[in-house]
Amino acid sequence: MAFKLSVFLAIAFFSLLLWGNEGRRFLPFENDPYRIRNVYYYNGARVLVEDLTNAKLQARSDIPLTDLALYLYTRQGSAYKINMTQIKDLQISQFYQPKNENFFIIHGWKNSHLSEVNTLITKALLETSDINVFVLDWSKIASGLYTTAFLSVEGVGSHLANFIVALVREFQLDIRRVALVGHSLGAHIAGCAGAAVNGTLRYIVGLDPAGPLFSLWNTKNRLDKSDAEFVQVIHTAGGLAGMLSSIGHADYFPNDGTPPQPGCGMDLIGVCSHSQAYVYYSESLTRNGFAALNCSSYTMYREGVCAHQHLSYLGRLPIDKSANGDYYLDTNMDAPYGS
C-alpha cells in the first residue's frame, strides 16, 4: 500500500512539473535563461554557431528609432514606407484606411520586411480582409548577433508601442482595433509593445516565441498573457529555437509543438520547424483547417482521451477568443498542412 501511494505521489509530482498547477504545459528548465548554450543559423549553405554561455541579460535602452522602419500594405496599395515620427503623413496617404482594422507583423532574428514571414502573412490577410497591415522592419538590429537582437527586444517594443499610441491619438481610433502578430523574437517584441500600452490591445499572436535567453519567471522581456486582452501562441520548435511552456491564454501545439515538423526533414537545428509556425498561421487565414482539441498532453490527444473536449481552430480570422488552455493537433505531412 505504501509503495502504491509513493508511486501515485511521484506521478502526481511529475505531472505538476510538466503541466503546472493549472493543467497547462510547464517545463521547469525554461526558468533557466542559459539552458540553451548555442544558437545556430544559416549563412548561405553554411551553418554558423553563436555561443550564449556568457551572454548579458541587461536590456538595451538606447535603440535608435532610425534602426526601425514601418511599411504599410493595404488593398489600395503596398509597401508604403512610413516615417515613424511623422504620423501625420498618413493623413495625406491614399493607402491608410482609418475605418479598417490595424494589424502589425513583427519578424524575428535574421529577417527583414521582405522575409517570407511577412510576405506570406500579409498576402493571406489581404486576401481575406480589407485591413491595414503594418510590417515592422528592425533588420538593422536583427541581422546581427542573436544576443544583440535579444537585448533590443524591449526597446523595439517600446518604439512600436509609441507609434501605436500616436496612431490611435491621431485618428481617434479604438486601440482594441489593433492586433499584433510576431514570429520568434518578434513575438516577444509584440508582447513588450502590448505591455507598454497596459495590455489594452485586442489580441496578440505569438508564432513560436524565441526560447534562447528567455525565462518563464521574467515576463518583462517576453510575451505573456497579460500583454493583450487575448494572447494566442503557436509552438513549433519548442525546447530548441522556441519556448515549449504555455505562455498565452490559448497555446496550440501542432505535432506536439516540437521539431522536426512535417516538411522539415531531420531539421537538426530547428530552423525549419521554427518557421513552420508562420507557415501554418498564414495558411489558417485562407483555409478551413488546423482544428485542435483542448487537452492536457499530446499523448492524451493521440490516444483519443480528449476527443470530446473543446474544439478550437489555430489562427484564423476572426481569432477564437473563446479558447482557453492548451490545444493539440496533427498536421498533414505536406502543404496544405491543415487537415
Helices (H), the chain: 2-19, 116-128, 139-142, 146-151, 153-171, 185-196, 271-284, 298-302
Taking only the tens place, the pLDDT of each residue in 283-319 is 999 998 999 999 999 999 999 999 999 999 999 999 9
CA distances from 281 to 25, 52, 219, 234, 254 (A): 21, 30, 24, 8, 11
| pLDDT value for 42 | 87
Taking only the tens place, the pLDDT of each residue in 8-51 is 333 333 444 455 546 899 999 999 999 999 999 988 888 999 99
Measured in degrees and rounded to the nearest 5, phi and psi for residue 316 equal 65, 160
User: For residues 329 and 339, what is the distance between their CA atoms, to the nearest angstrom?
Assistant: 9
Catalytic residues: 184, 208, 274
Domain boundaries, the chain: 68-329
| pLDDT value for 92 | 80
Beta bridge partners of 39: 50
Homologous superfamily, domain 68-329: Alpha/Beta hydrolase fold, catalytic domain (3.40.50.1820)
Closest CA to 125 of 229, 281, 230: 281
Q: What is the mean pLDDT of each run of 10 residues along the chain (339 residues)?
A: 37 44 87 96 89 93 95 89 90 89 98 97 97 98 97 98 97 97 99 98 99 98 98 98 98 99 94 98 95 98 97 97 98 95
User: For residues 191 and 172, what is the distance between their CA atoms, to the nearest angstrom?
Assistant: 23
Residues composing the chain:
339
Cβ-proximal residues to 105 (8 Å cutoff; 6+ apart), any chain: 117, 118, 121, 122, 133, 134, 135, 136, 180, 181, 182, 186
Return the HEC string of 208-244: CCECCCCCCCCCCCCCCHHHCCCEEEECCCECCCECC
pTM, to two decimals = 0.93
| pLDDT value for 20 | 53
Beta bridge partners of 279: none
